[in-house]
Amino acid sequence: MKNLIVASALSLALMGGLAHAQTSPAAPAAAAAKTSSDPVVVMRNEQRAARNAFNEAAKPIRAERAATVQAAVDKAVAGAKASGKDPVVAGRVARRQAMEATKADFDAKMKPITDTRREAMAAAKAKRDAAIAKR
């Protein structure tokens, strides 16, 4: 019992130390990085912003596709259970077929935001290259 209490106290202390170590030093470094005039740091921040914007725009598109695919899988699994077939195989086959069926629509919806991200990444890199060339 005594060892359990010591081990629990030690693990709580270590977790608290790790949490503190992860939050304290990172905050000043992140703040310093945002105000940096170094072209590479500026480029990375702009690219990070472009990736974050892309991910936010892609979330609903991915969620819509996942819901469509999951509905097809659920229907196939229910049908397989009712007919006595293997539901795992039916679900796997239905998932692959649904992914293939929704690919064209998904790619069409993702293309504009993918192009926007690609252009933003290239612009940030060009801006960095121009700043380095001025040196």
Note the pLDDT tens digit of each residue in 76-87. 999 999 999 999
Cα 97 versus chain centre, distance: 24
Pinpoint the alpha helices (H) of 1-135.
Answer: 2-23, 26-34, 39-83, 87-134
Cite the beta strand spans of the chain per DSSP E: none
User: In terms of domains, do 22 and 43 share one?
Assistant: no
Provide the number of structural domains found in the chain.
Answer: 2
How many residues does this entry show for the chain? 135
User: In terms of domains, do 44 and 5 share one?
Assistant: no
Q: How confident is the model at residue 12 (pLDDT cuts 50, 70, 90)?
A: low
User: In terms of domains, do 43 and 71 share one?
Assistant: yes
**Lowest-confidence segment of 26-30, 52-56, 117-121 by average pLDDT:** 26-30
Look up the pTM and report it: 0.68
| Residues 66, 98: Cα–Cα separation, whole Å | 10
pLDDT given at position 129: 92
User: In terms of domains, do 46 and 85 share one?
Assistant: yes
At 135, is the secondary structure helix, strand, or coil?
coil
The parent domain of residue 29 ranges over 1-35
Q: How confident is the model at residue 13 (pLDDT cuts 50, 70, 90)?
A: low
Q: How confident is the model at residue 36 (pLDDT cuts 50, 70, 90)?
A: confident
